[in-house]
Chains A and B, each alone.
Chain A
Amino acid sequence: MQGRGRRGQTAGLTARGSAPNLRGLSEFLQQLLNGISLGAIYALIALGYTMVYGVLRFINFAHADLFMVGAFLGYFGGRLVPAGTLLSGLGVLALAMAGCAVLGIVIERLAYRPLRGAPTLNVLITAIGVSLLIEYSGQLVLGAAPRTFPELFPAGRFNLGPVVVSTNQLVVIGVAVLLMIGLELIVHRTRIGTAMRAVALNPRAAQLVGINNDVVISFTFGLGSALAGAGGILYALNYPSIDPLMGVMPGLKAFVAAVLGGIGNIPGAALGGLLIGVVETYVGGSAWSTYKDAIAFAVLILVLLLRPAGLLGRVTVEKV
C-alpha cells in the first residue's frame, strides 16, 4: 500500500518536473481518452440498472453478472471466428448481446415476475440471490481462474497529436455511442419505447390504454441485458483478463453511476457513467491511485448529500 502510493507520487513529480506544460497537457488528454472509454462502459451498464428501475422500481443486482456473461460469451464466441477482424468482432458482439438479452428475459420471468406486487425488499433480496447464483455457478462451470480474452478486433495503436489511441478504445467508444443513440431512438421514436416510458410513469394508466406491462417489462430486461453484455465485451477488450466475479466491481460502479445521474433517468445514467469513468481514471493516474476504486463511492456520497435526486433526476413524491 505505502510502496504503491510512493511510486505514484514519484511518477507524478517527474511528470510535473520536465517540460511541465506540454507533458501535463498530453497526460491530461491521454487520461481523458482513457477515462471516456472506461466511462462509456460504465454508462452502458448503468443504463440497464436505470431502465429496470424505471419500470419496476427496484435495483436488479444480477445486472452486473450479465456483464460477466457477456464477456464469457465473447470469449467463447471469439474462439469460433477468425481473430482480429472487424466483422467477426461485431458478429461476436451481436451474439453476446443477444445471449444476454435472452438470459435477462429468462431471469425476469423466473425470478422477478412471480414477485410482482410483493414488497420491494423481497425482490431486492431475490436479485442478490440471483446474482450469487450466477457468479458461483460461473465459478463451478468455468473455474475461478482468470482467462485471457481473445483479440476480437484488429489490434493497433496510433498517435493522435500527443495522445496514443488504441483501436480497442475506438471500438469501445464507437460501439458505446452507437448503442446509446440506438437506445435513444428506441425509447423516444418507437411504440414499445414510448410504452416503456408510459409504464415507468404510471403502470396503472399504462394498463388502461391496453399496454401489457409484462411484455414491456420483458422488453426492458432484454434491452438492458443486451447493453450489459456489450459492456462486458468492451470491458474485456481493454482489460483482457476475465473471470466469473469480474462483474462485481464494474457493476457496483455502474450502479453508482446510475444513482449519480438520477436513478430512472436514461441520459443521467450515461452522464453518470462517463463522469465516474473519467474521475476514476484521473485518480488512478495521480498520487492517490490507491483510492481509485473508492473515489466512485466518495463522489456518490457527495452527490447524495448535495443533490439527493442525482444530477439529472427530479425530486418526486412517491405515489401511493
Chain B
Amino acid sequence: MSAPLLQVSDLRVSYGAINALSGVSFAIGLGEIVTLIGGNGAGKTTTLRALSGLVRASGTAEFDGQPLLGQPAHRIVARGLGHVPEGRMVFSNLTVAENLAMGAYLDRDRDRVARNREEVFALFPRLRERLRQTAGTLSGGEQQMLAIGRALMGNPRFLMLDEPSLGIAPRLITTIFEQIVAINRQRGITILLVEQNANLALEVSSRAYVLETGRIVMSGPSPELRADPRLKATYLGG
C-alpha cells in the first residue's frame, strides 16, 4: 500500500459521559475495499459520522493528505468523500429524480450530472423505472439503491457505506453487493464498508478491521480473518 487515501489515528468521540470511540486508528489505500465489522454499539456508525463531519471528534484524520476533522459536513462532501448513511435516509417525500438531483447539489456541470445519472441507472436499472415515484414508496432495497445512487451523484472518490444489507430482502442484498464491487472496480472508487453481516463483508473486501466497544481489536486481510477461530465464534456464526 502506497500513501493511504485515508489515514485515521486515535479517533475519539464521546456522547456526554459515554465514550463511543476511544482511540481508533486505521488506514485505507487508494482503490481498496476495506470493511469495518463489529456488533451493535461497537462504534462503526460513529466512526463514519466522525469522518463525514456529522459528529465532533478528536484525534486526526487525513484525507488525501489534508486534515478532515473539524470541517463542516457539506465541505467534506465537496472534497469527494461520500457517505451512504445507516438507515438509508433517502428524502422520503421527494421523488427518485429529485433525490438524485439533490445528490448532485454541489455539481454545477450539467453534462457530468447527466452522465452520472446514466451511470447510476446502469448500476440500478430499477431507479429509472421508479423515477417519478416518491422515495418513501420504494422498497427497502430500492431505497438502498437510491441512497447509493444519490451518493454517487456527488462524484465521490471515497465512499463510506453504513450497513447496506440492513433490512433488505436477501435477493436484493446480492444485487447491491455486486454493484458495490462494480463501483469499486469500474469507477475506481475506494470503499469503506461497515457491516454487521460479517460473512458478506469479508467476502467482498480485501482487508478488514474489527471494532469492539470503541476500539479496534483485530485487523488483517479479509481471507485470513474469515478463517480466524476467534472471529468465527463471535461474528461468523461458528
B-binding residues in A (CB < 8 A): 191, 194-195, 197-198, 201-202, 204-213
The contact sample of 10 A-B pairs, CB cut-off 8 A, is A194-B102, A202-B89, A205-B85, A206-B102, A207-B53, A208-B54, A209-B77, A209-B105, A209-B106, A210-B105
Interface of B is mostly: loop
Contact B105 A195 (CB under 8 A): yes
Contact B53 A211 (CB under 8 A): no
| Other-chain contact of A204, B85, B90, B101, B105 (Cβ < 8 Å) | B85
Contact B72 A212 (CB under 8 A): yes
Contact B94 A208 (CB under 8 A): no
Contact B72 A208 (CB under 8 A): no
Beyond the given pairs A194-B94, A209-B154, 14 more chain A to chain B contacts, judged by CB atoms under 8 angstroms and listed by A's residue number, are A194-B98, A195-B105, A204-B85, A205-B89, A205-B91, A207-B54, A207-B73, A208-B77, A208-B82, A208-B151, A209-B105, A210-B78, A211-B74, A211-B102
Contact B91 A208 (CB under 8 A): no
A209-B153 Cα distance, complex, nearest whole Å: 9
Interface size bucket, B side? 20 to 34
A90-B233 Cα distance, complex, nearest whole Å: 75
A194-B150 Cα distance, complex, nearest whole Å: 14
Residue of A195, A198, A202, A207 ringed by the most chain B CB atoms within 10 A: A207
What are the interface flags for B43-87 relative to A under an 8 Å C-beta threshold, 1 for contact and 0 otherwise?
Answer: 000000000111000000000000000001110011000110100
Write out the residue numbers on chain B whose beta carbons fall within 8 Å of the beta carbon of A211.
74, 102, 105
Interface flag for B164 (CB, 8 Å): no
Write out the residue numbers on chain B whose beta carbons fall within 8 Å of the beta carbon of A198.
91, 94, 102
Interface flag for B137 (CB, 8 Å): no
| Other-chain contact of B90, A191, A195, A205 (Cβ < 8 Å) | A205
Q: Which A residue's beta carbon lies closest to that of B82? A: A208
Q: Chain B nearest CB: distance from A200 CB in Å? A: 9
Write out the residue numbers on chain A whose beta carbons fall within 8 Å of the beta carbon of B53.
207
Interface flag for B139 (CB, 8 Å): no
Q: Taking A194-B98, A194-B102, A197-B94 as contacts, is the C-beta distance between A207 and B74 under 8 angstroms?
A: yes
Q: Taking A207-B53, A208-B52 as contacts, is the C-beta distance between A195 and B74 under 8 angstroms?
A: no
